[in-house]
Amino acid sequence: MTDKSPLPPDSPALRDESRLSGWAEGLGSPADRRAASELIGQSLAKGIPMTFQGARTGLRGAGVPNGGLIVGAARLDRVEGLRRGQWGFELLVQPGYRLADLRRDLATRRPNLAASQAEPEALKELLAEFRAEELFWPPDPSETSATMGGLASTNASGPNRSRFGRAADHLSGLRVILHDGQEYNLERGAFKFGPQGLPLPTGRLLEADPKALGLPPEADLLDLLAGGQGMYGFISGLWLKLAKAPAHLWGLVFFPDSEEKAVSLIEAILDDPPEALISLDFLDLPSLSVVSVLRQSAKKLREIPEPPTGAASAVSLELMADDESLIESASERIIQNCLDRGCDPDQSWALVGTEVEKSRLFAHAVPEGLGSLLDSVRAGGYPAVMTATDFTRPDLRFGQNLGECRRDLREMGLTAVTFGHALDNHLSVNFLPKNAEEAKRATELMGHWLERAKNAGGELFFGQGVGKLKKELFLAHESPERIASLRAAKKALDPNGLFNPGNLFD
């Protein structure tokens, strides 16, 4: 199970989607929790650093190893339990269980509960009730091949974040293997921050206050672990809180023929957002080109038509409601918004129910295509990595935010692929540096934007986390209090520094 020889440099296990690559002495893929405990316990005893990996879909290098042993969660992909919590049904899954598996199991309502420890009779009854419901896991990030462990570790969110929140908001429990080699079952609220700090199941106390860590006052240990990027322990199980799925889901994509019209349409919708609106995304012209390029090689993308000729941008939104007439009237209002702002409402796609997969696939093709384009640059000789930044500007309207970025890009003589979740006033600006000089300028510009976002009270590493890629920027722009608190947390939970070394700080 564990190969002691060093992994060859081109082994896929040494890389993730960020295109960063590392090195490791071995790879272990435990097939069950006991094996995982054993492996981690042995490594802890021998002082071997570990890097925890899910599906290696991360964009910031959090799963890229920095020596030591890779502990891959891919084979821990079972459903271990089903229960009824105070908020509704909850599913206990292993960390390697993928979002795609979850969506399949919720759609078919037939999770494979063979690995469950529960009483078969009681489980049968519960399963019958479960199957009578239409459920979903609200965060719904777009990378469906990501593992639940990975999504929890980065506290991931999807385009619907402003409506539904992030991964941590939808976890009611975690199983985690901590630095003492023990596996702990942590329920929500079991270990809460108190006036002295956060008591830990290992018996220690983390002296820190939640605010300094960027957490709400009623936060608990789960909130620290989620988004912890594997630095505090190995997540070996997750209780997912499921919610009742609204009966209707529509995905609309409009293709304005200029960026100004797109911004205008977005701001019109934001001025009076329909109740059913759960996400509103902007894709610029370079984004559309990226998708077009990826289409050449991805057969699945070719099932979706090309955007209409003349499209200079895309505005993609989703509407969700129990009452379809709410969605229909929202659509009519948005058509009116189009007409008022000079957009042609017939340059659009309207997808209903499971067809919404198509607009999601389309939007998701942008980051995926960026990866392919990065690979082309790398093939040309320069070892480019994901050079991108995600930030929010709560102080500006969407158009102003975008306008500022455009101006800065022009001034620095840089081009970028830009998209954003307009409901969060978020922008993701992605560079494709062809050489070290361009990369340097891009990094400088990103630092500049992060500084402004920080001053405006915005979020700096929205959606993708810090990992290894953003370490420098993180250390440069994050407040000293935050960094100090995080170091304290790391010291308390990983005193020997053996978990995911190199993430966030050395």
Partner 1 sequence: MTTPGGAILVWLETEGRGLGEASKRLALIASDLAKQGQLTVHGAIMAGAYGPPPLGAFAGLGLTGVLAFKGRHRPTVGERAAALLQAAKLLSPDILLVASDERGREMAPMVAARLETGLTADCVSLRLENGLMVQTRPAFGGDLIAEIITPIARPQMATVRVSGAQPVKANGEREPRPPWRGHGPGHEPGLADPTLPTLEVLLAPPVMGEPTVLKRTPLSADDDLEKASVVIACGLGLGGPEGVSKAKNLADKLGASLGATRAAVDRGWLPGHRQIGLSGRAVSPNLLITLGVSGSVQFMAGAGGAKDIIAVNADPRAPILALARVGLIIEMENLWPELEDRLGPL
Partner 2 sequence: MTDAPERTRLGPPTAPSFPNSAADRERDFREAEGYRPRVAVAIKQVPPSLGGATDPLKGFVLRTGPGRLNPHDGPAIEMALRLKDRYGALVDLFSMGPVQAETALKEALSLGPDRAFHLTDPLLAGSDSLATARTLIWAMDLEGPYDIIVSGLMTSDGGTGQVGPAMAALMDFPFAGRVSEIVSLEDGALTVKQLYRDELLETRLNLPCLVTVHPDGFTPRLPTVRARLRPRLVNRLTASDLIAPNPDQAPAQAALFGERGSPTKILRTHKPKANDKVLARPTPPVAASVIIEAALKAKS
Rounded to a whole number of angstroms, the minimum distance from the CB of residue 321 to partner 2 is: 15
Tell me if 245 contacts partner 2 by CB under 8 A.
Answer: no
| Residue 77 beta carbon to partner 1: minimum distance, rounded to whole angstroms | 9
Q: Which of 332, 340, 375, 444 is the binder for partner 2 (CB under 8 A)?
A: 332
Give the pair of three-digit tokens for residue 469. 């890629």
Is residue 276 within the footprint of partner 2 (CB under 8 A)?
no
Helices (H), 252-355: 259-271, 285-297, 324-340
Candidate residues 168, 266, 304, 423; the one interacting with partner 2 per rule CB under 8 A: 304
What is the enclosing helix (H) or strand (E) of 1? none
300 counts as binding partner 1 under rule CB under 8 A: yes
Of 75, 163, 204, 482, the residue at the interface with partner 1 (CB under 8 A) is: 75
Which range in 38-46, 254-262, 297-305, 469-477 contacts partner 1 by CB under 8 A? 297-305
Categorise residue 76: left if φ over 0, alpha if ψ from -120 to 50, beta otherwise.
beta
Q: Binding to partner 1 by residue 64, rule CB under 8 A?
A: no
Q: Are 440 and 418 in contact (CB under 8 A)?
A: no
Beta carbon of residue 378, minimum distance to partner 1 (angstroms, whole number): 12
Report the residue number, 321 or 416, with the smaller CB distance to partner 2. 321
Contacting partner 1 within 30-59 (CB under 8 A): 31
Tokens of 13: 């296990």
N residues, the chain: 506
Instruction: Tell the smallest beta-carbon distance from residue 314 to partner 2 (Å).
Output: 13
- Longest CA–CA span in the chain (Å) reads 68
The angle, 0 to 180 degrees and rounded to 10, between the axes of the packed helices 285-297 and 356-379 is 80
Is residue 297 at the binding interface for partner 1, with CB under 8 A as the rule?
Answer: yes
Choices 286-294, 344-352, 460-468, 493-501 (CB under 8 A): range interacting with partner 2 = 344-352
Nearer to partner 2, 98 or 426 (CB): 98
Query: In terms of C-beta density within 10 A (0-12 exposed, 13-18 middle, 19 or more buried), how is residue 391 classed?
Result: buried
Site pattern 34..73 for partner 2 (x: CB under 8 A) = ----------------------------------------
Asked if residue 429 lies in contact with residue 418, where contact means CB atoms within 8 angstroms, the answer is yes
Q: Rule CB under 8 A: is residue 145 a binding residue for partner 2?
A: yes
Q: Which of 20, 73, 252, 291 binds partner 2 (CB under 8 A)?
A: 252
What would you report as the CA-atom Rg of the chain, rounded to the nearest whole angstrom? 23
Comparing CB distances to partner 2, the nearer of 16 and 101 is 101
In terms of DSSP bridges, do strands 50-53 and 88-93 run parallel, antiparallel, or are they unpaired?
Answer: unpaired
Q: What is the DSSP letter of 209?
A: -
Q: Which of 16, 19, 20, 29 binds partner 1 (CB under 8 A)?
A: 29
d(CA 51, CA 69): 6
Q: Are 428 and 392 in contact (CB under 8 A)?
A: no
Binds partner 1 (CB under 8 A): choice among 5, 117, 354, 455: 5
DSSP per residue, 481-493: HHHHHHHHHHHHH
Name which of 212 and 352 has its Cβ closer to partner 2.
Answer: 352
Q: Which residues contact 42 (CB under 8 A, 6 or more apart)?
A: none
CB 27, min distance to partner 1, A: 6
d(CA 68, CA 418): 37
d(CA 79, CA 102): 9
Select the binding partner of residue 288 from partner 1, partner 2, none (C-beta < 5 to 8 A, by kind).
Answer: none
- In the complex, the residues that contact partner 1 under the rule CB under 8 A are 3, 5, 7-8, 10-13, 27, 29, 31, 75, 297-300
